A and B are shown apart, each in its own frame.
Chain A
């Protein structure tokens, strides 16, 4: 690995962080606008044209807000928790391919540039592992805050994670069984090669993934760890200013990540598997647009659900996760395995 290659990797890192942070800011803007429309309101429209500068104004506000540290908190853990949440949220995006690789000539050398920070063969496993770590941020915040609402919120997030993540993992295993690889690129390429997005072959797995993804990101109707009406703000009750903003960012970046994962695993990633049968492979900038469109579609669904559905009760989600989702995903897995074994014979 020479200096140029290192530079490219560093540049990619910067781009990912910058894009995710901008993405976060405009996801909140999209959410506020869309929900406002659904509620017969206008939403933010004062800062900039159509309120487009609202996220910037929010950011400035949060940066300048006082960081209050309550009495009796475990200071080290209290500071650590938002950082854990944020770092984990950004890390998960590292393996997401957003376009086909391109070749450029730099300094007389032909180099392939991948639109992906790291392409390795257990990428899916990596994503699952990293997103599971996200719960630590919540639990630590709840535990360190010295606040009962925060504590209950943290405990809820731990219990919630246990009850849905198993179903999510099993659902994704059936995808892996079909493709035969854990690499993101392999999964995308398989869908292009077969000309079918995996949602057609694995609708049950996609359904389970969609439900668990909402729970994973702690979004309505599964936003128990921060259930406003019950727990004030749940695990981040005691956080103010930029520390609160880190949790907030982590939530939205997680949304973007799980949306990207859904696009990659089930919707053909940055390709349009069925269309590309006729058009041939599309150029890289169209790829990025396709990926973006799929992510925004998924984000819109997140927002739509939040605007329309009341929160479930916390113990009902646990029951739902263990008694409904897990058996269904196991049955789906078994069926997939049997079909594959039968076809392979």
Chain B
């Protein structure tokens, strides 16, 4: 059922860049940072060549940077066989920003391009469904452009004239729009963009057209909004289902209800001040999120991390992975209709890990533990004995227990096997990562494919399963918990003494100008941080490549043709955390 494979080494990015440059000649240039630069008109050809001739079949990240005189769209491409990503950049002018869409080459670009459009207003020509994704359709402005100021930060100093016009305050409710909100609307906004004309008194808003689109049997289709208030969307997430009977004909994920523009806040904060915010992304895998950010900034600063800190990070991240997988398995079973029993047993184990986190970091969820060049505090004396007992005795039993009761359960197998199948090719094309990708038989794990920290010192396997269904993702999670235990068993005895924070002690870090994309394997997949520094006190650009967000791109593909009950199971198997999806 699950097999354990090793990833073959892939060519270094510099070699790929050189080879591409040689093949494509004029059309691409290489900039100082080793990134390929291509004009928008050549983008499609170059990307196709990169994918077909150089094996860069996986679009890891897609984002943009506002350089005030131009927009730079940045792509990070890598091979599903492993290796560091190569960076591809294209620029477009700010007045009429247009870049061809990569949707036709990498379907995984779908949501990421929509996000860039949403945040920067860059139009992707050829994208089939280019509309706002995180902000709502009636939002005026492009929030991540540098000239867009967020509320209360519109000016350098308070009191802000917009809040205090002519020295008078006003109430937001005095300025309500037709939709009952006091937000700024784009000029000439009618609501037609979202198929929702201005509501009138007592009118029932129903998408009549969608209802009328019947099948050849003359049966009407039903549009069901699953969420944002729904028991099993794992938060405020919406799936717009088109149903024929109980069969899903089409599905559109709608997100952004919890959007707080993490990236804009990140660009306003100091470098170190972002660290506690990363906890709030994926609050089930908080320490992994911190590690990714720390890794990115460390590499930009060229910091060395002391041995002890590396070990502490591995221990924390792997404990984190175990508790996160426990949680996700428990709640997957909940989604299948098991009345909380598996999830409560899973939560019990999670609580113990969280207690350990609290012991070491002072907080259960919002740990704020990693620092650039190490960790914030050393482990307390009582920590090691407890974690040894947990790793060597308790966890193995707990995993065995879950495994014994669930894995071969008749109903569990019937509900999960053959549901939500994603083929390996599609899984790569949709840029999925984590258990979703490995459940489709692709042995791609950032810890092995693009090693960071000290993962190359341990003996562990990348767990995969070939079926690509919900059951395979579940099996991968069970296997990964065991592999994490294996890593922990090796790491704990080797733990060296020594300092825990390298580099020069400073209140304020100086990050040299430059950029970096660092990625870590979070329990939900590839978590990437793309930071650009201009040498100032805060990041010039701070982008989070959220695994949940990108994994959701494949949701519609997985759900089509299955039943309503399966949609819930499939969503549970992707295991989203809305804090990270919406950012």
Contacts and interface: CB of A to CB of B under 8 A. Distances in A.
A and B physically associate = yes
Nearest to A312: B411
Given A71-B204, A223-B337, A229-B334, A312 B564 contact: no
B414 A232 contact: no
Nearest to B340: A39
B336 interface: yes
Contacts of A221: 337, 411
Contact of A308 (B222, B223, B341, B415): B341
Nearest to B571: A229
A163 B333 CA distance: 26
B338 A309 contact: yes
11 contacts: A39-B344, A71-B202, A229-B231, A229-B334, A229-B336, A230-B565, A308-B341, A310-B415, A311-B415, A312-B414, A313-B415
Interface of B: 202, 204, 222-224, 230-232, 246, 333-341, 344-345, 348, 409, 411-412, 414-415, 563-568
A231 B339 CA distance: 15
Contact of B231 (A41, A151, A232, A316): A232
Contacts of A312: 411, 414-415
Contacts of B224: 148-149, 152
Nearest to B406: A310
A132 to B, nearest CB: 23
A315 B415 CA distance: 11
A35 interface: yes
Interface residues of A, number: 31
A207 to B, nearest CB: 16
A26 interface: no
A220 B337 contact: yes
A40 interface: yes
Nearest to B241: A148
Contacts of B339: 35, 220, 306-307
B231 A313 contact: no
A38 interface: yes
Nearest to B414: A316
A40 B344 contact: yes
B563 A313 contact: yes
Nearest to B411: A310
A228 B230 CA distance: 9
Most A-side CB within 10 Å, residue of B246, B340, B344: B246
A11 B402 CA distance: 52
Given A39-B341, A71-B204, A152-B246, A229 B568 contact: yes
Nearest to B333: A310
Given A71-B204, A232-B230, A314 B563 contact: yes
B138 to A, nearest CB: 24
A38 B80 CA distance: 44
A7 interface: no
A316 B334 CA distance: 19
A244 to B, nearest CB: 16
Interface string A299-324: 00000001111111111100000000
Contact of A310 (B204, B336, B348): B336
